[in-house]
């Protein structure tokens, strides 16, 4: 056997490289491939975390905007109707042991001096807050005279504080310039009956309402305050 033949069948020698071929052009090693996959996984995790964080912030901003918008509309409606109130008919306060906090008013929308209760645009309205369910509702009569209750807000109202004040200065016992319903209740000359509740003839002298509430939607909550002069207040419960 010739030397050339021996060389051709010698498996111990590496095949000759093509002219100009770099010895390092043989592809990725297993270690290089694993390192590349690891780096790709780290980068993908970081990008995914950034995307999720951005989406969460966007959702929170949108939820806050929705809560603010709907609550502002409800506050504006309550303010508008209270400004036209001709009489405060009834008050309930959870701070006095009542199950709900409510304010029933007669709002003379058409200015005819009559309590219209059986029309499509009723004038006797009751705003009520239920602390158990966290709901703020509005009750009024429909065109047939049946009481209909509708939610004012879809979100939970976790706090609803109602303050009733009077511009009458005589009952202002502590001289702070603000006559509360408690001071009015203790002043017989203006109808106070001393029973520890805002009721009866006292209601005719309540002409300022302050509302403070907290509206919550999931983890998003906003505080709102409202102060309304009952400029059209004419008399108590009828």
Look at the block and give the residue holding tokens 């302050």: 210
Bigger pLDDT: 134 vs 24: 134
Bigger pLDDT: 156 vs 181: 181
pLDDT single digits (tens) 84-98: 888 999 999 999 999
Tell whether the model's pLDDT for residue 237 goes beyond 50: no
Confidence class for position 158, pLDDT limits 50, 70, 90: very high
Contact 170, 187 (CB under 8 A): yes
Quote the distance between the C-alpha of residue 157 and its chain's center: 7
Rounded CA-CA distance 43/35 in Å is 12
Tell whether the model's pLDDT for residue 212 goes beyond 90: yes
Bigger pLDDT: 128 vs 116: 128
Tell whether the model's pLDDT for residue 238 goes beyond 50: no
pLDDT single digits (tens) 16-65: 555 555 555 556 787 777 778 878 888 878 777 776 666 565 555 555 56
List 90's β-bridge partners, or say none: 104
Contact 66, 217 (CB under 8 A): yes
Instruction: Specify the pLDDT at position 61.
Output: 59
Rounded-to-10 torsion of CA 159, 76, 84, 188: 20
pTM of the complete model:
0.70
Mean pLDDT lowest for which of 3-12, 22-31, 110-119, 187-196?
3-12
CA distances from 55 to 48, 50, 51, 60, 63 (A): 11, 9, 6, 9, 12
Q: How many CA atoms within 13 Å lie on the side-chain side of 211?
A: 24
Please state, rounded to an integer, the average pLDDT across all residues of the chain. Answer: 81
Tell whether the model's pLDDT for residue 9 goes beyond 80: no
């Amino acid at each position: 056997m010739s030397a050339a033949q021996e060389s051709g069948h010698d498996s111990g020698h590496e095949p000759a490289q093509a002219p100009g071929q770099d010895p390092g052009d043989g592809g990725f090693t297993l270690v290089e491939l694993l390192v590349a996959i690891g780096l790709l996984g780290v980068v993908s995790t970081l990008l995914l975390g950034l995307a999720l964080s951005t989406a969460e912030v966007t959702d929170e901003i949108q939820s806050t905007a929705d809560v603010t918008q709907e609550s502002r509309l409800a506050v504006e409606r309550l303010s508008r109707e209270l400004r036209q109130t001709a009489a405060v008919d009834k008050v309930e306060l959870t701070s006095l042991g009542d199950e709900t906090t409510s304010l029933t008013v007669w709002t003379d929308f058409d200015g005819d001096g009559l309590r219209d209760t059986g029309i499509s645009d009723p004038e006797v309205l009751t705003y009520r807050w239920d602390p158990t369910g966290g709901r703020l509702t509005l009750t009024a009569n429909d065109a047939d005279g049946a009481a209909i209750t509708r939610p004012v807000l879809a979100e939970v109202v976790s706090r609803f504080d109602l303050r009733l004040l009077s511009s009458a200065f005589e009952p202002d016992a502590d001289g702070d310039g603000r006559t509360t319903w408690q001071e009015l209740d203790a002043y017989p000359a203006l109808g106070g009956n001393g029973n520890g509740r805002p009721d009866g003839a006292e209601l005719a002298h309540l002409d300022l309402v302050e509302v403070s509430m907290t509206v919550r939607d999931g983890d998003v909550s906003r505080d709102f305050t409202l102060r309304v002069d009952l400029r059209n207040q004419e008399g108590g419960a009828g």
